[in-house]
Amino acid sequence: MDLAEIWRVMRRRWYVLLPGLLLTAALIVGVYLTVPVNYQSQSTVALLNSQKATVAFDGNPFLSTQTSLTGMADSLARNLNSDASIADLRAQGVTGVYEAKIADNAQGPLMWLTVTGTDPDAVLASDKILTQYAESRLKQFQTDQAVAPNAMIRMTTIVPPQNPVAQTKTRLEYLIMAGGLGFVSSMVATFYVEARRRPVAAAPPADAGDPAAADRPTGGAVTGGAGDEPAEEPAAAQPAAPAAEPAAAKAGQPAAEPAVQPAVPAGTVPATRPAPRWSKPAEESDTPAGEPQAHRFV
């Protein structure tokens, strides 16, 4: 089936395709109104070494980086994603969904603090609260372990909470799925109705491709050709008179083997073989009936 045939079917069954397309459009509008647009805000923070550990570097924390800071960043991210922290942040006014993790492809103790929601203003405020809460949780960990203030790991904000950005990927995916499902369903219904309404073609006769089938009688009788007159039955073959013995047999030499006659197809009347010129038919013979006839040579 080519594109022209598909177009003809769609045009012929428009009363099935049109309602399906209208339902598809209604489905797309419903998805557009139901699935809201999400907004996302993200901040980036880094863990710094303590003041005591940066004395050898003239107090510059960016010159004193230890592997233990990355491990501390992982521990802090796990704590921020716990149920206890979620409850504390909800009490402080955080809305939407947030996530704390180590930054992708980070070469140091960097963390991403991300908040996602449907209200852009609430998302930005929640990201600010999350950033402050992460710093307080880092300090609380070290206080519980009785760490001296000048030996505590510090946190600094590398990228402050950014203005929320619309995330349309999820909504677009739902719209494409709704449109594709509706269109495919409409086409399936259209071709189903076409298949049900299309007349079934009669099967051709078994001898449709035989040119001689038109002249073949249906009742099994053999016709004689033109006209409706029946064909004459062939005359019964008269038995041929036995042939004279060949001269070679009389001389004592072995006779040649008779030639093998070809097989006659079934239903074919064999042709009558004429009597030899050197033999006399039975009706012309002077021999009484019942006695063997002598061959007379001409």
Provide the residue ranges of all domains of the chain, joining segments of one domain with +: 8-34+174-197, 38-167
pLDDT of residue 54: 85
- Residues sharing a CB contact under 8 Å with residue 138, sequence separation 6 or more, in sequence order: 47, 72, 76, 153, 155
| Mean pLDDT of all residues in 205-225 | 52
Asked if 125 and 93 count as a contact pair (C-beta separation under 8 A), the reply is yes
| 39-53, 143-157, 200-214, 240-254, range with the lowest pLDDT | 240-254
Task: Say what the pLDDT of residue 226 is.
Answer: 42
C-alpha dist (Å) from residue 198 to 183, 193, 203, 211, 219: 23, 8, 15, 31, 36
pTM above 0.85, yes or no: no
Say if residue 66's pLDDT is above 80: no
Domain spanning 38-167, CATH class? alpha beta
How confident is the model over 150-162, as pLDDT tens digits? 889 999 999 999 9
How does the average pLDDT of the chain come out, rounded? 77
List pLDDT tens digits, range 84-114: 999 999 999 999 899 999 998 888 899 999 9
Model confidence at 224: pLDDT above 50: no
What are the phi and psi torsion angles at 154 (to 5°)?
-110, 165
Amino acid at 2: D
Alpha-carbon distance of 179 to 192, in angstroms, equals 20
Residue 60 confidence (pLDDT): 86
